[in-house]
A and B are shown apart, each in its own frame.
Chain A
Amino acid sequence: MAYFGNNQQRGELQELFADLNDLNFEKKKEAIKKVIAYMTVGKDVSQLFQSVIKCLEFQDIEMKKLIYLYIVNYSRQKPDDAIMVIQNFRKDVRKSENPLVRALAIRTFGCLRVPKLNEYLIEPLKDCIQDDDPYVRKTAVLCVPKVFEVSPELCPALLELLQKLLEKESNALVLANLIQSMREIEVVNGKQLILMNPKIIQKLLLAIDECMEWGQIFILDYLATYDPVESKQAEIIIERTLPRLSHINPTVTFCAVKLILKYLDHLDNGDLVKNLCKKISPSLISLLSWNQPEIQYTILRNISLILQKFPILFENEVKVFFCSFNEPYYIKYEKLDIMVRICDSKNFNQVLNELMIYLNEADPHFVRKTIKSIGKIAIMYDKALSEAVQILVEFAKNVQQANEPVQELFIQMQILYRKNRNLYKTNDSLKILFNILEYANEPEAKSACAWIVGEFAEFIPKSVDKMKEYIDNFLIEDRLVQLQLLTSGVKLYIKYPSLCSALIQQLINSAKDSFNPDVRDRTYIYWRLLSTDPEIVKNLVCSVPANSSQFQKDIRLWETKDLIIALENMGSISNLFHKLPNQLYKNIKIRNNHQQEAKIYKADEKQDIPQKEQEIKKEDQNQQIQQQPKQDFDLLNFDEPVSKSNNNKIDVYDLI
Chain B
Amino acid sequence: MISSIVFINHKGEILIYRVYKDDITRSETTQFCAKIVATKENKECPIINIDGTSFIHITIKDIVVLATTKVNVNVAMTLQFLYQLVKVCRAYFGGEFDENCIKKHFVLIYEILDEVMDYGVPQIADADLLKKYIQEGGLKPELMNDVEKLKQLTSQATGATSWRPPNLVYRKNEVYLDVIESVNVLMSVKGTILKADVAGSIQVKCLLSGMPECKFGMNDKLLMQREPRKPGQTTTDKGITIDDLKFHQCVKLPKFDKERAITFIPPDGQFELMTYRITENINLPFKIMPVYNELGKNKLEIRVKIKSIFEKNLFATNLAIKIPVPKNTANVNTNSAIGKAKHEPDQQGVIWRIKKYPGDFEALLRCEIDLGSTTNQQPWIKPPISMEFQVPMFTASGLRVRFLRIYEKAGYKPTKWIRYITKAGEYLHRL
* A interface with B by C-beta (< 8 Å): 3-4, 33, 36-37, 40-42, 59-63, 65-66, 69, 72-73, 76, 97-100, 104, 107, 110-111, 113, 133-136, 138-139, 142-143, 145-146, 171-174, 177, 180-181, 184, 187, 209-214, 217-218, 221, 240, 242-244, 246-251, 253-255, 282-283, 285-286, 289, 291-295, 297-299, 319-320, 322, 324-326, 328-330, 354, 357, 360-362, 398, 400-401, 569, 571-574, 576-577, 581, 584-585, 588
* Contact of A247 with B247 at beta-carbon distance under 8 Å, contacts A41-B14, A209-B253, A330-B44 already known: yes
Check if B415 is an interface residue, CB within 8 A of chain A. no
- Per the bound structure, the CA–CA distance linking A72 and B110 in Å amounts to 13
A445 to B14, CA, bound (A): 45
Q: Assess whether A135 is in contact with B103, with CB atoms less than 8 Å apart.
A: no
**Chain B residues with CB under 8 A of A209:** 252-254
Judging by beta carbons under 8 Å apart, are A146 and B119 in contact? yes
Classify the secondary structure of A's interface with B: helix
A sample of 7 more A-B contacts (CB under 8 A), given A246-B251, A319-B195, is: A42-B14, A113-B22, A135-B158, A174-B158, A286-B277, A330-B45, A576-B75
Beta-carbon contact of A61 and B114 below 8 Å: no
Partner of B154, one of A99, A145, A330: A99
Q: How far is the CA of A329 from the CA of B137 in the complex (A)?
A: 43
**A139 and B118: CB pair below 8 A?**
yes
Which of B88-96, B144-152, B203-211, B232-240 interfaces with chain A? Answer: B144-152
> Are B72 and A569 touching (Cβ within 8 A)?
yes
Question: Which listed residue (B79, B154, B272) contacts A294, Cβ 8 A?
Answer: B79
CB distance from A295 to the nearest CB of B (A): 5
Determine whether B121 belongs to the interface, using a CB cutoff of 8 Å to chain A. Answer: yes
Chain B residues lying within 8 Å of A69, measured Cβ to Cβ, are 110, 114
Report which of A111, A113, A214, A250 forms a contact with B122, defined as CB distance below 8 A. A214
For A294, the closest partner residue in chain B by CB is B46
Instruction: Kindly state the separation between the CA atoms of A549 and B73 in the bound complex, as whole angstroms.
Output: 43
Residue of A whose beta carbon sits closest to that of B43: A328
B133 CB within 8 Å of chain A: yes
Among residues of A, the one whose C-beta sits closest to the C-beta of B382 is A360
In the bound complex, residues from chain B placing their C-beta under 8 Å from that of A212 are 124, 126, 162, 249
User: Which residues of B lie under 8 Å from residue A41 when comparing CB positions?
Assistant: 14
CB-CB < 8 A to A249: which residues of B?
Answer: 80, 249
Judge whether B77 and A398 touch: CB under 8 Å.
no
Residues of A within 8 A of B194 (CB): 319, 322, 354
Bound complex: CA of A33 vs CA of B105, how far in Å? 11
- Contact among A253, A298, A361 with B75 in the assembled complex (CB-CB below 8 Å): A298
How far, in Å, is A24 (CB) from chain B's closest CB?
17
Interface size on B, residues (CB 8 A): 96
Shortest Cβ distance from B193 into A: residue: A319
Interface centre among A249, A330, A588 (most CB of B within 10 A): A249
B131 at the interface (CB under 8 A from A): no
- The answer to whether A243 and B80 have CB atoms under 8 Å apart is no
Q: With A3-B106, A573-B49 in contact, do A246 and B160 touch (Cβ < 8 Å)?
A: no
Q: Does B377 contact A (CB under 8 A)?
A: yes
Q: How far is the CA of A69 from the CA of B107 in the complex (A)?
A: 11
Q: Give the docked Cα–Cα distance between A581 and B106 (Å).
A: 37
Q: Scan residues 56-78 of chain B and give those whose CB is less than 8 A from a CB of chain A.
A: 57-58, 69, 71-77
B19 A66 Cβ-Cβ under 8 A: no
Known A98-B144, A285-B243, A573-B73; contact A36-B107, beta-carbon cutoff 8 A: yes
Contact B111–A65 (Cβ < 8 Å)? yes
Instruction: Report which B residues bind A (CB closer than 8 A).
Output: 1, 14-17, 19, 22, 26, 30, 43-47, 49, 52, 54, 57-58, 69, 71-77, 79-81, 83, 103-104, 106-107, 110-111, 114, 118-119, 121-126, 133, 137-139, 144-145, 147, 150-151, 154-155, 157-160, 162, 184, 186, 188, 194-195, 197, 199, 243-249, 251-254, 256-257, 272, 274-275, 277, 377-379, 381-384, 426, 428, 430
B377 engages A400 (CB within 8 Å): yes
- Specify which chain A residues have a CB less than 8 angstroms from the CB of B384 in the assembled complex: 325
Assembly CA distance A577 to B49 (angstroms) = 9
Cα(A330)–Cα(B253), bound, Å: 34
CA distance A243 to B107 in the complex (A): 39
Q: How far is the CB of B82 from chain A (nearest CB, A)?
A: 8
A248-B138 contact, Cβ under 8 Å, with A138-B158, A330-B45, A572-B74: no
With A and B bound together, what is the CA distance between A97 and B151 in angstroms?
10
Shortest Cβ gap from B325 to chain A (Å): 15
Beta-carbon contact of B382 and A285 below 8 Å? no
Q: Quick one: given A282-B243, A297-B46, are A217 and B77 in contact (CB under 8 Å)?
A: yes
Q: Contact: A289 with B381, CB < 8 Å? A: no
Residues of A within 8 A of B22 (CB): 76, 113
Most buried by A among B14, B75, B249, B277: B75
Task: Tell whether A248 pairs with B139 under 8 Å between CB atoms, given A214-B81, A328-B43.
Answer: no
| Set of chain B residues within 8 Å of A4, measured between Cβ atoms | 103
- The complex places the Cα of A244 from the Cα of B245 at a distance, in Å, of 11
B74 and A571: CB pair below 8 A? yes
Interchain nearest-CB distance for B304 vs A (Å): 17
Bound Cα distance from A244 to B150, whole angstroms: 31
B223 to chain A, nearest CB (A): 14
Q: Which of B49, B106, B154, B277 has the most CB of A within 10 A?
A: B154
Given A210-B160, A573-B54, A65 and B110 contact (CB-CB distance below 8 Å) = yes
A33 touches B157 (CB 8 A): no
Give min CB distance, A40 to chain B, whole Å. Answer: 5
- CB distance B76 to A62 under 8 Å? no
With A135-B157, A142-B118, A249-B80 known to touch, is A573 a contact of B75 (CB < 8 Å)?
A: yes
- Tell me which residues across on chain A come within 8 A of B52, comparing CB atoms: 585
* Contact, CB under 8 Å: A361 / B381: yes
Q: Which residue of B lies closest to A328 (CB)?
A: B43
Q: With A42-B30, A572-B75 known to touch, is A251 a contact of B118 (CB < 8 Å)?
A: no
CB <8 Å contact, A65 and B114:
yes
Residues of A within 8 A of B381 (CB): 360-362
List 20 contacting pairs A-B, 8 Å CB cutoff, sorted by A: A36-B107, A99-B150, A100-B133, A100-B150, A104-B114, A145-B119, A212-B162, A218-B121, A242-B257, A246-B246, A247-B246, A254-B76, A282-B277, A283-B244, A285-B243, A285-B277, A298-B79, A361-B381, A571-B74, A572-B73
